[in-house]
Structure 1
Amino acid sequence: MHCYCWHFTWQKPRKEAEHIKSDHRQICCFECCIKCLGGVPYASLVATILCFCGVALFCGCGHVALTGTVTILETHFSKVTSDHAMLTNVIQLMQYVIYGIASFFFLYGIILLAEGFYTTSAVKELHSEFKTTICGRCISGMFVFLTYILGVAWLGVFGFSAVPVFLFYNMWSTCATMRSPMANITNIDSICVDVRQYGIIPWNATPGKACGSTLGDICNSSEFYLSYHLYIVACAGAGATVIALIHFLMILSANWAYLKDASQMHAYQDIIKGMPQFLHIRILSSHTQQSTHANTHM
């Protein structure tokens, strides 16, 4: 955005004229900065930052947590490779999906931010020569529909990301109960965690469960501690992404309504501008008909 604000004073001395010219230039630059800041879509900017942070937390923490989960299963619950081969393949596929999700939402967030800049410019210049096209309104409507679909999908992702948090919490609470001095435990080996009941590994996996001191060692391991907390952060990131998409959906819906009102306002202004010329033509036509009628009767 450029601002030209030149003021030449030929009657005054050169130094005073240059000083006035510099003051006008500073005022003009300040006004330009204020105008630029007024055109920033702050709501879209906040939603974009929240979306980037949520997706980054979900993808980064989820990727590392999945790797730690495979390590825990291979070390303590399924020591035969063929028993957890399918699970390993599924986790690798999920990690590749995470790469795709991160790339897609990085691009999609930038596109929505650009659409926010475009719509803000259209609304700010509602009474100027700025014209909103049908294509622009269709694109805004398409973003509303796509963001709605993505929001519903991320609700499912948020629910799915809570599942490993629940599983790890059960294991952690079992270890906490086993270490608690308030519990009257006669045989700690009778306290077990069987991951086969969750369908993670098949029932013929060996050993399939961890009991007593072995379970305590798992809960005290760095892989379990890190994976547990990373799953919590990943779930929080998925929730932040859902909130960002809901925020985007509200912004896009409002922007689409603004664009529709802007197009209707421009159509109304065009009709108003064309009315004087139309009336002038009708008046001339009426006078011409009256003159012709008078000449006919003479």
Structure 2
Amino acid sequence: MKSSIRYIILFLLLSNACLVRAQAAYHHIKNYKAYYGWAHAYPQDKMVLRRFEDGNKTYYLLVNPLTMETEVNDSDIYKIKPMNIAEARAFFKSTPYQKALAKAEKQSVMIQDAGIERGMPKEAGISLTADLCPSHRPLDKVIFTDIFNGLGKVERPVPIALSVTGVWMRQHPQDLEWLKQMEAKREIYITWINHSYNHRVSASRPLKENFLLEPGTDMSYEVLETEQAMLRNGLLPSVFFRFPGLVSDQQLVNRVTDFGLIPIGTDAWLAKGQQPQAGSIVLIHGNGNEPVGVKDFIKLLQSKTQAIANKQWLLYDLRESVDEEFGEVR
């Protein structure tokens, strides 16, 4: 895709997303559930992912299968045809969204780092993802101020994807509000990734029984309760999911894709010394627990100062990056 076309699409995505996010938070959610179907709309049909009630109204969480942009709208906006998940995926099978789901399922044989690891291999830049796992430490704000200071003159808002847990949102309301204020000032643009609600981890259990593979884990709670927490905090859930610890198995991956969520891995976990390439989905932790990864990312930004100024190295919106990998020039 030519650079000019890519920026036009990104501008439209961000402009529309900002309008959607201007809606009030949903504080009285009830009957929140996975609910699939076809939402007829012009110029592009949407796929329904969730249904819930707030006050006296019914709402749907939907995804545009061409752009992977999500939205929440009330039941009066669209004509809905209910389907099960298999029917809905078959109906939209030729779209980038469904192609990404299918590839994530195929890349799930390893117990670590299943899912989509790269996007946009031809572009000079990366997609940055920062995980917000449960932590007693404050948000690493330097990540966000430095990416804005480093890139804000050439791309504003600067895109970043945050993998957020329900526990982190509950324990860090002031940090969450700070991020929302940065976004409100159009300094950054956040794609919110579901990272499970509890993010349980054991220092003694083997990987095959750890994180979300821990026996007795309630995946419906881990997925849906996190989305509800996002909505109550005025955040818009995306169609992406990151496994805690990047640990999963085939059955767990299929369980996540059955919720309509695309597992996102990484090919460049900076704290582990993995070096990003063009199109990499980079992983750092923004919860205060991984200073090495944060320091390495800041060094990376500093090393790209001239390339950034010349618009030869940028951060890319995760949705756009994955969409371009699986879509066609439109």
The TM-score, its normalising length taken from structure 1, stands at: 0.19
Indicate the structure whose relative CO is greater, using CA pairs within 8 Å and at least 6 residues apart: 1
Higher helix share: 1
Structure with higher Rg: it is 1
